[in-house]
Amino acid sequence: MVSFLQSSAWGDFQKKLGRTVIIRANKDWRYLAIVERGTGNTRLYTPYGPECNSLAAFDAATASLITDAKQAKASFIRIEPTYRLSPAELKERGFKPVTYNQLQPAHTSVIDLTQSENDIIAHMSQNTRNIYRNYHKKDVRIVVSHNPKDIEILLGFLHSVATRNHITPHSDEYFRTQASTLLPIGAASLFIAYHHDTPIAASLMFDSPSTRIYAHAAANDEYRKLSVGTALLAYAILDAKKSNKTHFDLYGVAPESEPDHPWAGFSKFKRSFGGSDVEYSGAWDKPLRPLSYYLYRTYQSVKNR
């Protein structure tokens, strides 16, 4: 399953943020990598990449990444391969595990949309099925928008959630750029739930030809008794099925072996839709300028504590 974060659409979005994007490929591997410049440090980051079909292909992709990183004067490369490599194989190649600030989740839950619609619904929890089948009886309707201006609806909900939970989301401009880049070309879809004529929940989802990704979502807390977030997500899953996609990626869950994980609550919510857990190799760094890299790691470690 090719990641949306390795797509040309994602690359176009990154370019509009002012970042340098590098794309390399041959028959056995490919990657989209982003030059990310920070204070006193530059890294070459390939989200959910490189994509490869063998260990030899991974080594070839890594060699190419190192060449690109040196030309960009990067201190290190960061990878998140979806091709499963063992920690030993990565460490043998000079990679170091990222134990903080992982940018993309190493565990997710994916729904197989090649099943029949009835089977997809049957694999949802009973409560989820009931909410989906009855949401319209509560005067709730769900619409799909590709109008970038409608991102303001989601932004309003995100601001409320951020204030309530004391979190810092991406900037408004980040979301507006994402919407203006991805929505008009069908690389994203904005799902909006209305109660009568009042928007009460919204979710921005990324779309590739094969996969829909549950990316950003928020709702008006005053309407929580309507469970509209559940109805909206179920609607988006079945809409992806009708759009001939083969997978729905719920994008990030806690390992089931970690019941006290900070994501445990919304992971239980995501798993109620009947997907199967998928585990990737996680994020790994390969230092190219050891002193700069270790100063960066030390700073990140202190900041985390």
Percent pLDDT > 90 in the chain is 82
pLDDT of residue 231 exceeding 90: yes
d(CA 273, CA 248): 10
What does the pLDDT average to over 251-269?
89
What does the pLDDT average to over 153-182?
93
Domains of the chain from N-terminus onward: 4-104+282-304 (3.40.630.30), 107-278 (3.40.630.30)
Average pLDDT score, the chain: 94
Buried b (16+ CB within 10 A) or exposed e, 71-108: ebebbbbbbbbbbebeeeebeeeebbebeeeeebbebb
pLDDT, residue 169, reads: 83
Instruction: For residue range 3-29, list pLDDT tens digits in order.
Output: 999 999 999 999 999 999 999 999 999
Instruction: For residue range 91-122, list pLDDT tens digits in order.
Output: 999 999 998 776 899 999 999 999 999 999 99
What does the pLDDT average to over 250-259?
90
d(CA 33, CA 43): 10
pLDDT, residue 305, reads: 63
What the block records as the tokens of 239 is: 């809409």
Beta bridge partners of 207: 212
